């Protein structure tokens, strides 16, 4: 562990005047700019840009500082194509993420977001895989007005991007779930309030994602977060032999996807509830101090301490206890009791722990909504519930505290908005990142493709009876989380009939929960228009070969790559290598 403070400048030895200076690396430039300015203290500069117009915006803002305010420059619709250094061309427009800790949202807040979407974002918004809402087509002139409107209702884009603590995720049914171990949302909100936009953590080596959940279904995917707390029970036996149950947390560290997926490592400790915030704070401090992670932005996440720097669960625990100044209790002997292959999206009508009330979860295909739909959802939340809504990491939306007698009527109204509660397995399991439509790093278009793919699969395999997570990501950065999908599609380009076309590389068998593992690259790729036929061939082979009770994950686990690749291709073929990430990929990936 480094003894240097994170803010300490790196002083290079003086060079003779005649010697050509060494070119600054991208990591060095980022570190220099971060040391020079805390963007959260410099919003007045953006207000001035808004007055003077897009041409006045300084390159250090478009290239870095805007991200601390949840803002990226918007691509030209071609993705990485035509750009340099692994990044495509930027337009005059911006996209912004609005942070929603634990996905918590009120109808008043949603109505403001709806108004902003219609006024500034061409009536288009996306729910993201970290329970945020993302807007596009924003002009420099609109940014101060949007931030002011959000601030007025207790929302902010601060910390939704950048080398900072990102939006803290949690179970969207926190406090409502009949079988939750504990309502962890107050802790998630406390962490967000104290760490997000905290100037002490404005300069981390890279993004820092936190998940806190008391949900037994682990619906917030703790396995792929930098730090995650999951509720667990232990029994304390007194001298007289009586036992008292205590609820605390298990700590996991080092999860993340991107170009090199890594599932979080369980740290051997029991975290008491009164220790939970301090443990997360200390973990962020440990991450901040790792100067070696600042040398290469593509390997700057905390997971690389375990992947490349020799850290173990035990050595991390030692560092954590040294930072805390006290020892943590050992982990309980009881297992975490992870649930089997289940839906973790809370879609449908779910009875709450509060008698007579239910949550109604609507599946939002690709996470895409219009401002009109957002406004309608705000109205429905007030008419049928108490104005409370929850966004999910599966890009969906829940209306909660709905009287049981009103749920059927609410479902009808949601369906009329195109937000369906009862959907096909393909619709329900579809996830898509931003893609070339707006992202400068994407190689393939994703949102429109995902919608078309779902329609194709519903027509080809009506009544398909298995859960299937069908994730589409536009490049190797895995913003669409293809590494944890049953079928993950990674965007690329190939030549077809002499033309460069969108294509996808296939990975299968990813999972979270009891059977957590990253997906296996199969060595098969197909042009976008050939993907539905390939998936149909593989799923029909599964339906013919499955044994009683065998789900898709189990089938993929027992079937070798050569067989699955032949099913996709319709014939035996040699594997093709997965493309290496483009030069610079991952440096400024807008991944959630």
In tens, the pLDDT along 186-204 reads 999 999 999 999 999 999 9
pLDDT tens, residue by residue, 102-157: 999 999 999 999 999 999 999 999 999 999 999 999 999 999 999 999 999 999 99
The answer to whether 360 and 399 are in contact (CB under 8 A) is yes
State percent of the chain over pLDDT 90. 89
Q: Which residue has the tokens 């009770």?
A: 549
Joined together, the tokens standing for residue 255 give: 């999860």
- Which residues, at least 6 apart from 362, have a Cβ–Cβ distance to it below 8 Å? 347, 396, 397, 398, 399, 414, 419, 420, 421
Asked if the domains 348-419 and 427-569 are classified in one and the same CATH topology, the answer is: no
Residue 34 DSSP SS3: helix
Return the pLDDT at 583.
52
pLDDT of 15 higher than 50: no
The structural domains of the chain, with segments of one domain joined by +, span 26-152, 185-324, 348-419, 427-569
| Mean of the per-residue pLDDT values of the chain | 93
Q: Are 453 and 227 in contact (CB under 8 A)?
A: no
Architecture of domain 26-152: Alpha-Beta Complex (3.90)
Radius of gyration (Cα) for the chain, nearest Å? 24
Task: Give catalytic residues, as residue numbers.
Answer: 97, 206-207, 474, 479-480
Instruction: Tell me the C-alpha distance between 156 and 136, whole Å.
Output: 16
| 352 pLDDT more than 50 | yes
The H-or-E segment that residue 285 falls in is: helix 276-288
**Does residue 4 have a pLDDT over 70?**
no
Q: How far apart are CA 80 and CA 338, in angstroms?
A: 40
Q: Are 407 and 350 in contact (CB under 8 A)?
A: no
Q: Residue 479: its pLDDT value, please?
A: 96
Domain 348-419 is of which CATH architecture?
Answer: 2-Layer Sandwich (3.30)
Is the entire prediction scored with pTM above 0.95?
Answer: no
Q: Which two tokens stand for residue 326?
A: 């006290």
The SS3 assignment for 456 reads: helix
Class of the domain covering 427-569: alpha beta
Distance from chain centroid for Cα 111: 24
Could you tell me the fold of the domain covering 185-324? Sulfite Reductase Hemoprotein; domain 1 (3.30.413)
Strand partners, 527: 503
* pLDDT for the residue 82: 77
Residues 96 and 66 sit within 8 Å (Cβ to Cβ): no
C-alpha–C-alpha distance, residues 251 and 227, integer Å = 7
Both structure tokens of 31: 């570190």
- What is the tens place of the pLDDT at every residue in 428-455? 999 999 999 999 999 999 999 999 999 9
């Amino acid at each position: 562990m480094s003894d240097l403070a994170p803010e300490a400048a790196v002083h290079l030895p003086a060079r003779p005047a005649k010697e050509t200076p060494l070119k600054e690396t991208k990591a060095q430039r980022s570190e220099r700019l971060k040391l020079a300015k805390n963007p959260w203290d410099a919003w007045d500069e953006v207000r001035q840009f808004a007055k003077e117009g897009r041409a006045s915006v300084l390159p250090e803002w478009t290239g870095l500082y805007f991200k601390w305010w949840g803002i990226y420059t918007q691509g030209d619709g071609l993705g990485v194509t035509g750009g340099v250094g692994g990044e495509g061309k930027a337009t005059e427009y911006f996209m912004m993420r609005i942070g929603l800790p634990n996905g918590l949202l009120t109808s008043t807040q949603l109505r403001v977001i709806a108004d902003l979407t219609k006024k500034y974002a061409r009536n288009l918004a996306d729910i993201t895989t970290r329970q945020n809402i993302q807007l596009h087509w924003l002009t420099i002139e609109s940014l101060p007005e949007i931030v002011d409107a959000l601030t007025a209702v207790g929302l902010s884009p601060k910390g939704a991007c950048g080398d900072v603590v990102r939006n803290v995720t949690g179970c969207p049914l926190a406090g409502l779930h009949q079988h939750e171990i504990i309502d962890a949302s107050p802790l998630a909100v406390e962490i967000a309030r104290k760490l997000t936009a905290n100037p002490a953590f404005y300069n981390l080596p890279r993004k820092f994602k936190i998940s806190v959940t008391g949900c037994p279904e682990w619906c917030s995917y703790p396995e792929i977060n930098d730090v995650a707390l999951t509720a667990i029970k232990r029994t304390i036996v007194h001298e007289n032999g009586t036992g008292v149950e205590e609820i605390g947390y298990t700590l996991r560290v080092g999860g993340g996807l991107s170009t090199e997926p890594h599932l979080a490592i369980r740290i051997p400790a029991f975290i008491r509830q009164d220790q939970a915030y301090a443990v997360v704070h200390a973990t962020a401090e440990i991450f901040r101090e790792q100067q070696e992670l600042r040398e290469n932005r593509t390997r700057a996440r905390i997971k690389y301490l375990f992947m490349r720097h020799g850290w173990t669960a035990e050595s991390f625990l030692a560092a954590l206890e040294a930072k805390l100044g006290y020892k943590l209790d050992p982990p309980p002997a009881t297992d975490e009791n992870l649930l089997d292959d289940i839906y973790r999206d809370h879609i449908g009508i779910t009875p709450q722990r509060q008698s007579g009330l239910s949550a109604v979860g609507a599946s939002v295909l690709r996470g895409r909504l219009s401002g009109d739909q957002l406004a309608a959802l705000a109205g429905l939340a007030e008419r049928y519930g108490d104005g409370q809504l929850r966004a999910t990491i599966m890009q969906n939306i829940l209306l909660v505290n709905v009287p049981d007698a009103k749920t059927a009527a609410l479902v009808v109204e949601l369906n009329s908005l195109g937000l369906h509660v009862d959907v096909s397995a393909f619709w329900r399991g579809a996830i898509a990142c931003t893609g070339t439509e707006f992202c400068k790093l994407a190689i393939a278009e994703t949102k429109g493709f995902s919608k078309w793919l779902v329609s194709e699969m519903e027509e080809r395999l009506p009544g398909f009876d298995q859960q299937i997570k069908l994730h589409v990501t536009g490049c190797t950065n895995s913003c669409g989380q293809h590494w944890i999908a049953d079928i993950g599609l990674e965007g690329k380009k190939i030549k077809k009939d002499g033309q460069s076309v969108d294509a996808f590389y296939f990975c299968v068998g990813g999972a979270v929960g009891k059977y957590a593992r990253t997906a296996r690259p199969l060595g098969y790729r197909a042009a976008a228009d050939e993907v539905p036929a390939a998936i149909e061939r593989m799923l029909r082979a599964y339906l013919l070969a499955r044994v009683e009770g065998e789900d898709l994950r189990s089938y993929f686990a027992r079937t070798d790559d050569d067989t699955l690749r032949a099913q996709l291709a319709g014939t035996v073929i040699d594997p093709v290598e997965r493309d290496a990430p483009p030069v610079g990929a991952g440096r400024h990936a807008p991944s959630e």
